Structure 1
């Protein structure tokens, strides 16, 4: 039976093994010929050929085959991406301006109505500067993505026409740059180049929506219940639904909602408490997904531990029990005052209260909270008095079973906030890195971007900890660019609800995070828990904070300070590290910066907020955020199937030393991705490639606190315990609290 292939033009021709080999070989430039063998890929592809197979299918098969060889050498992942990218390039228009025109002129095939995917404003800018922008797009940079990064873009990020991807990764990045800066072409080109060179990335909603008719570019929205009434609850629910529709993650404070059995004056009845209400929010999160099926709606609800319904709150995600008392699609967090931690530590009593009977507790913090809470206790207004530790152990049980509630420390969040002049901060967000003021008429918003730390590390030649280099000056410059960009995002953003626009324009908070901290340490050949890594961890965040403060001050000079700047700690010469009683290094001119801030102010109330970076780190090929690697070997699932992936830094190290043998590979697989029990691997390499399970979690918390002095919001933080028990978990939580962390674990 003769085998023939159908080309993209629709013509048929015979299948030629040599042609397949030649196509793969052309894409192997710069890859290690000792490991990457085009003939082997071609042989596997030929086995999957059938009469009438398309060239598109052949390319996909070749890419999947190359990806399946990635456990032999990381260059195979690069080759897999190149095949996929080359395939996309053959199916898409090259010129950015023509792609934008097609998006602008799109007509919905079923309704026949115009359905433009690009805003008029962005289209006009692109048409006016089409030659400049078309020339600036460097398509070869698409080949810099690894296979899993490219597949992530392909699945969710690149815009489609008629169900087919019509945008290349470089087009997307230019769309984002124009969407942010519009007619400021030098800034557009600067942003495009830094994005495409992978120095930083904007957050997922910005990549999704920049340049579109409804450019909702914000990641996080924080709300408090508008009122403890049917009107207040359902107004808040509607806001949550609208925000979810436009791909926003939500943090919601519910501490002011009356507890069950509380009196309702309007009907002379009693309240059912927070559980039935949260089931309604749960169903809304399920129904309203983010942007029509891209991501399920995400809502984290925050409750203070004095609330009388707290035990029911802890059960909401559990797998057993009465279904009418479960709401498993929400996430849960506790907003914990210091007083509760002190009572647990001293094995004291704890009084549960209803906010309807003991008002004002969620509106104050610190000594003011302590006095009010203890006054209600003395007056006998509480519902029930229990041992603080009985609630504590219920919290730990819930964490072991469900992973929630997250624990955030209310007093640390308020004490160390540059927004403390606005009022009491009542919650964080889904990922626990955003800490912003909310009010019934203000929905806090945060626009995010993350800096790729692996870009600033020059590889070390040995394991002494002294031969690599990390470019802190360049890092500071990138932080300044990101700060300017996020300010433009605030200005250009589409706000789903007016209360969000009002808040963002008044306070202008931004959230700069990082990804690839663990990758940077590996490039520098230093262990995650080494003194060198701990020092660099501090230096990195000091540089980012200095750059962000400097750029925010420059913007205030050119425009004006944010509206509520007066009365803030920054307006009194107090920056984040001052609130931690930390003295910064003398690398940067902090005294000069404070003088400039005193003169010009700041454009933003908040600047740093290291977020999880789950999707964008995959796009750029980094480990997430500030996290250590959880394993040196893991499975990645994409639409084409599941692939085994090996830590690329380790793989390069072992292949260069001739240590990547089948016996070593099998031993690592048997040990679940650990290399600590592989004697062939030198000790200094094993130290650098410890997984999170092999690093002291106390050190993880210490490093979070050490960089925390330069983080004016908070930080997403995971702690890993193979065999958690109440003693270990109590020790961990109290260590985080005593270290002054805003986000516990």
Structure 2
């Protein structure tokens, strides 16, 4: 990224001739990489921006490759005492240590965030923390009793005990609270939800450590030194929870799990509960779902309810929304407050989406699966978006 920014060259090397690059990150990587360049161990030199253009071109056409930053993943990982984290899973929310003897395992569960909105349009953080604690206990039980197809997976899972708590229905929660996705209220709620989940998960993991002892490789980890995820981001939490008290408790007992939070895509589980996926805004307010029994038109249930209550739902309205590709912005009969509330992802600033990802990121100790939607992508837009995300 630095060399793309400064329009420098990028050297392509053979890992057999230039060993060890996968074992280091940050300044150590740069030092080793540059030493190989000076020694002339380079197979080919290309302009960094030329390589970057190939990445952007591929993303424009296919949506891939998915991108993560190795330095950030390692610098902010609670597993950094184990060694260098070299890879993620496909969806990029799981970043765990692997080695010749260990295959990383992700033990996942997701919370339906819409379920904690009360009838008075307030958010029940206390209940969210309680359910998070139940999930932590359940996932720890799974680690203990699970069937492992290979011994390397069993060894890794029982030594480090990583879990990944994710979410679904964030967009649904915002709608139920009557917060447009880009509003200041939604941005604060986004932060407080993940602060609550991280707090609840840490507290439950600490309670389990008090009962069974901390995980095997706890000593030397950032948490064992009193450094939590938000400390590594240089972020101060809101005053929703007593972090000082929790840190004192952790210093005394440790925690049972090396990793706790990992918002996954929830592509299938969100369908079961009828929620919008993960941390994503709605992509459309009306769409067709194809299943074995046929094709069905699905309408955003919140929009359907709001339009019905206001006497605005009828065949003509349905056809208008379909004609507008699931958008309600250009339909005159729909009031402005509903237009704000039911913006699709194509109508929401992707800079805000990235900003919200960074704000919740301070309470996510693995990573998060995040999609960016740009209706008319080009080299400039995608480059600007990537560099904004990188600098966050």
For 2:118, the equivalent position in structure 1 comes to: 458
Within-5 A mapping of 1:436-475: 436-459=96-119, 468-475=121-128
SS in 2 for 1:396: helix
Residue 420 (structure 1) aligns with: 80
Asked whether the 8 Å contact 1:513–1:611 carries over to 2, the reply is yes
Matching residue within 33, 49, 53 for 1:373 = 33
1:532 aligns with 2:185: yes
After superposition, residues 556-635 of structure 1 pair within 5 angstroms as 556-635=209-288
Matched with 1:554 is: 207
Task: Give the secondary-structure state (helix, strand or coil) at the position aligned to 1:451.
Answer: strand
Q: Aligned with 2:30: secondary structure?
A: helix
User: By how many angstroms is 1:459 displaced?
Assistant: 4.5
Q: Distance in 1 between matches of 2:298 and 2:119?
A: 22
Are residue 411 (structure 1) and residue 64 (structure 2) matched?
no
The yes-or-no answer on 1:499 pairing with 2:119 is no
> Of residues 524, 541, 564 in structure 1, which corresponds to 2:194?
541
Residue of structure 2 aligned with 1:682, choices 328, 332, 335: 335
Is contact 1:459-1:523 (8 Å) kept?
no
Q: Distance in 2 between matches of 1:590 and 1:482?
A: 20
How many residues align? The count is 392
Q: Does 1:706 align with 2:366?
A: no
Deviations 1:577-632 (A, max 9, x none): 00000011122111111111111001000000000001110000000000000000
- TM-score when scaled to structure 2? 0.99
Using the alignment, how far apart are the partners of 1:635 and 1:712 within structure 2? 36
Superposed CA offset, 1:443-464 (max 9, x none): 000110000001001256xxxx
Alignment RMSD, CA only?
A: 0.7
Determine the structure 2 residue equivalent to 1:482.
135
Please show how residues 157-176 of structure 1 align to structure 2 within 5 Å: none
Q: Which has the larger radius of gyration?
A: 1
TM-score by length of 1: 0.52
Cα distance in 2 for partners of 1:430, 1:378 equals: 35
Is contact 1:459-1:524 (8 Å) kept?
no
> Equivalents in 2 of 1:730, 1:624: separation in Å?
26
Partner SS state of residue 520, structure 1: helix
Q: d(CA) in 2 for partners of 1:678 and 1:526?
A: 21
Task: Report the Cα offset of residue 663 of structure 1.
Answer: 2.3
**CA–CA distance in 1 between the matches of 2:145 and 2:172?**
33
Q: Deviations over 1:479-517 (max 9, x none)?
A: 111011100010011111000000000000000000000
Divergent runs of 4+, >4 A? none
1:419 counterpart SS class: coil
Q: Give 2:315's aligned residue.
A: 662
Displacement of 1:397 in angstroms is: 1.1
Written as runs of structure 1 = structure 2, the 5 A alignment for 1:347-362 is 347-362=7-22
Report SS of the residue matched to 1:642.
strand
Q: Which runs of 5+ in 1 are unaligned?
A: 1-340, 461-467, 740-745
Q: Which residue of 163, 185, 192 maps to 1:510?
A: 163
CA distance in 1: counterparts of 2:148 and 2:183, whole angstroms: 44
Describe how 1:133-532 pairs up with structure 2 within 5 A. 341-459=1-119, 468-532=121-185
CA distance in 2 between partners of 1:574 and 1:635 (Å): 47
